[in-house]
A and B are shown apart, each in its own frame.
Chain A
Amino acid sequence: MRLVAEPIARLIEELNKLPGIGPKSAKRLAYHLLRSSDEEAKALAEAILTLKEKIKLCSLCFNNTDCDPCRICQDKERDHSKICVVEKPSDILPLEQTGKYNGVYHVLHGTINPTQGIGPEELKIKELLTRLKDGSVTEVIVATNPNVESETMAMYLQRIITPLGVRVTRLARGLPFGAELEYADDLTLGQALENRREF
């Protein structure tokens, strides 16, 4: 016998699939929505539907966008000779929030993972190379995560882009703010030392 009505159970199940939402939070959210007004519930449902309907990939940089090319790619104020390469759309926001970057982006939608059979052809790498063809881009900044797969991809990008006469740089690696030296791994600590600079 079902302990809760089917529509409630279904919503709990769906909410439970979201990251960071365990069964208890899912239940709490479901009952919260049940108690909320019709308008509020409808607004949420519509927001989700519109998201899926309106958001496409930018045909230039493959970021999520509701217009094509996206607002960043259209922006004449930005420096289009610099492309910052990221693994996923959500990596762009933190970079934008630094306020220190005025170039454009390219989203690869994943990272090379040899042992899982994800090679360059699965990612938007061909499309990146196409953007480099006309010679207007002078620098590609590789902003990938510091792990083995992303490291592999960064080296691969460097290997294929450098011969095109484009400068390839990458984010400096080092200790995250708040980290403790004692617990840092070799790779991080080694790179932090290599990337050291004057005060």
Chain B
Amino acid sequence: MGTSRNYQTQGIILKQTKLGEFDKIITIYTPEFGKLRAVAKGACRPKSKLGGNVEPLTHSLMLLAKGRNLDIVTQSQTINGFLALKSDLWRMACGLYILELIDSFTVEGGENRPLFDLLLDILNQLSEPDSNETVLRYFELHLLHHLGYRPQLHRCVSCDLPLKPVVNFFSPSKGGLLCPHCNSEEDHRYEQIEAISLKPSLPLSVGALKVLRLWQSCDYATARRVRVKPELSWELERVLGEYIRYILQRELKSLTWLKELKKEIAAM
């Protein structure tokens, strides 16, 4: 950046909020500076040169000027508007969920290049016509990894023994799997304090564990080739969803909408 008051960065627009009548505050995820908030002056005016170039779900090249409080976007040019993604309801909903995940898991500043690359890659993948749920699960799993929450899928998080090919139990609070033995001990502890209904671990089938292990260690091109049966898909969604909810201590708003949409699409 040097001493210049102007600097250039590429970034993916995560969200925008109106500021006064004509301006917007936009939240951008950048490769060099992590998450960044900046003011897009006049972006709400119909003839604005910024307009559509600062809409969420856009990969843009931006010129910013150092501001007293927030920096100011002086120019923005779209690199990729992910138009195919934006022209399909389901994929749009997925895209918004992905953006909310990034926004919820990150704070301003804090460079995380691999996370930026993951985000960009996944939005590109989501623009492909044959993208399915795998893209969301793959993103969740790798997002967790890049933020230091990589789930332990090989050894029991309590006794550290290698996991056997049986039904094991995922513990969100411990960030990994418990073997059946350690899980029943946990059960016992919760029974003693009469809080068994609060016991937070979830059973994970051998099939689901295999898929998770593979996804954790491969690129997306390989991951998408794995055919996942609906029961398994549901199991994976639940386990990762519970883990994310445990870390964030809340449900993401766009996830509620995504789930409703899925129900409606299935009903049609």
Residues 161-175 (chain A) with a chain B CB within 8 angstroms: 163
Contact assessment for A148 and B78 in the assembled complex, using a CB-CB cutoff below 8 Å: no
Contacts of A36 in B (CB 8 A): none
- Contact across chains for B257 and A183 when beta carbons are under 8 A apart: no
Number of A-B contacts (CB under 8 A): 81
The docked-state distance in angstroms from the alpha carbon of A156 to that of B253 is 17
Interface range on chain B (Cβ under 8 Å from partner): 35 or more
Interface segment out of the listed A45-53, A63-71, A110-118, A131-139: A110-118
- Complex CA–CA separation, A20 to B260 (angstroms): 39
| B21 within 8 A of partner (CB) | yes
Contacts A119-B256, A155-B92; A20 near B83 (Cβ below 8 A): no
Say how far B91's CB is from chain A's closest CB, in angstroms.
10
A174 to chain B, nearest CB (A): 12
Known: A148-B56, A159-B89. A115 touches B96 (CB 8 A): yes
**CB closest chain-B residue, reference A176:** B46
B83 is contacted by which of A159, A160, A163, A186 (Cβ under 8 Å)? A186
**Chain B proximity of A152: nearest CB distance (Å):** 5
Contact A117 B92 (CB under 8 A): no
Residues of A contacting B: mostly: helix
Whether A146 lies near B96 (C-beta < 8 A) is no
Chain A residues near B (Cβ < 8 Å):
19-20, 112, 114-117, 119, 146-148, 151-152, 155-156, 159-160, 163, 176, 178-180, 183-188, 190
17 A-B contact pairs sorted by A residue (CB < 8 Å): A19-B20, A115-B100, A116-B253, A147-B55, A151-B92, A155-B89, A155-B92, A156-B261, A178-B47, A183-B49, A185-B58, A187-B52, A187-B55, A187-B81, A187-B83, A190-B81, A190-B83
